[in-house]
Amino acid sequence: MTMGDIGPGGDVRLFLAVCDHGGFARAAGSLGLTASAVAKGVARLEGRIGVRLFERSTRHFRITPEGEHYRAVCRVAVGSVRAVEEALALSASEPAGLVRVTLPPLLGAEIVAPALFALTDQHPRLSLNLSLDRTPVDLRGGQVDLAIRIGDPPDVAGVIGRRIGVQRLALCASADYIAARGAPADRSDLQDHELIATAIDGRPAPWRFTEAGREVVWAPPARLILDGAALALSAIRAGRGVGLIPSWLAADDIVSGRLTALMPDAVTGHRPIYALWPDYAPMLPRLRVVIDAAAAAIRQATGEGGPTPQPIANLS
């Protein structure tokens, strides 16, 4: 059967061929079938729908009024099927169609989303539905095609994970603050400084350091507990104290000298960044280019560079 077949056994295709060629024998020749096979197919179709489509005798062969109506309907239906099949074939060969993506709020808005906006310029047939959220998402529910998440992914059946970067952390203070208060040399010195923490459930998120070859998890006694790294950066820039924020967020300020990175060899707690997608469909070009663009943007922002990482985990 070809992409124009829409009836049992391709009988509609046979019917349309007979209409086009004005008889069973000529239609059979165009299809590579016998005239008997074509006649039987049309007879099956007439029996199924309960009307006579052609008047045929030894002297005449013509389509009936009912056949004319049925032909018009079939032409529209076959055209619609062909258009859908061509669109599906195109989406399997080039980035086309809708990709629904959920991104972590700050990294998503500042780094990933601009790269995906630019991707739509490269691929005019690609559409995006982007949302910002840090909560777990049910990728098997059919509402999301791709999730970018910071941290180790959950062990969920039917989900593929690919590590696409690392969010490193930097302990920072402004140049003015360091000039006034001095720079802490180790974690014990931090007790004498104003500390700025981000919040987890209303409490300071822990800071992690390497001390004597082991990792220490420390709850900073912060005066400022802020909802997210963007607020923490604002407070650090304003000279309000020492804070721990993503390195990519502080990078420009550190390069300019506006901020100083403190104890860089001691800070740990860096977290992987994953692309997650459902494992129930083939990897279509539209999803592949979105993952690759997100990975490239994250690698550039975090200073990792190097080739696009390959899939390293199937979490199913």
Amino acid 94: pLDDT: 84
What's 182's domain CATH number?
Answer: 3.40.190.290
Tokens encoding 88? 């599906």
Average pLDDT, the chain: 88
Measured in whole angstroms, the distance separating CA 45 from the mean position of its chain's CA atoms is 45
Q: Is residue 291 part of a domain?
A: yes
Residue 263 predicted with pLDDT over 80: yes
The DSSP symbol for 135 reads S
Spatial distance between the Cα atoms of 181 and 134, rounded to a whole number of angstroms: 35
Q: Is residue 279 part of a domain?
A: yes
Domain boundary residue among 27, 60, 91? 91
Amino acid 140: pLDDT: 77
Find out whether 105 and 134 touch, Cβ atoms under 8 Å.
yes
162 in the same domain as 103: yes
Q: Is residue 115 part of a domain?
A: yes
Spatial distance between the Cα atoms of 187 and 43, rounded to a whole number of angstroms: 88
Q: Is residue 2 part of a domain?
A: no
Question: For residue 92, what pLDDT band results from cuts at 50, 70 and 90?
Answer: low
Amino acid 139: pLDDT: 86
Residue 314 predicted with pLDDT over 70: no
Residue 307 predicted with pLDDT over 70: no
Report how many domains make up the chain: 3
- Give Cβ neighbours of residue 27 (< 8 Å, ≥ 6 apart): 14, 17, 18, 20, 21, 38
Amino acid 22: pLDDT: 87
Of 156, 6, 3, 136, the closest CA to residue 70 belongs to 6
40 in the same domain as 17: yes
154 in the same domain as 179: no
Question: For residue 185, what pLDDT band results from cuts at 50, 70 and 90?
Answer: very high
Residue 78 predicted with pLDDT over 80: no
201 in the same domain as 144: no
Q: Is residue 3 part of a domain?
A: no
For the entire predicted model, the pTM comes to 0.70
Question: For residue 83, what pLDDT band results from cuts at 50, 70 and 90?
Answer: low
Amino acid 12: pLDDT: 85
Find out whether 102 and 147 touch, Cβ atoms under 8 Å.
yes
Amino acid 90: pLDDT: 62
Quote the crossing angle between the two packed helices 24-31 and 11-21, to the nearest 10°. Answer: 120
Amino acid 84: pLDDT: 67
Residue 312 predicted with pLDDT over 70: no
| Mean pLDDT value across residues 14-41 | 88
Which of 74-83, 164-173, 279-288 is predicted with the least confidence, judged by mean pLDDT?
74-83
Domain boundary residue among 218, 237, 262? 262
Is 169 strand, coil or helix? strand
Domain boundary residue among 60, 91, 122? 91
Q: Is residue 1 part of a domain?
A: no
Domain that holds residue 191: 169-262
Spatial distance between the Cα atoms of 107 and 105, rounded to a whole number of angstroms: 6
- % pLDDT > 90, the chain: 63
Spatial distance between the Cα atoms of 57 and 63, rounded to a whole number of angstroms: 12
Find out whether 18 and 27 touch, Cβ atoms under 8 Å.
yes
- % pLDDT > 70, the chain: 89
Amino acid at 56: R
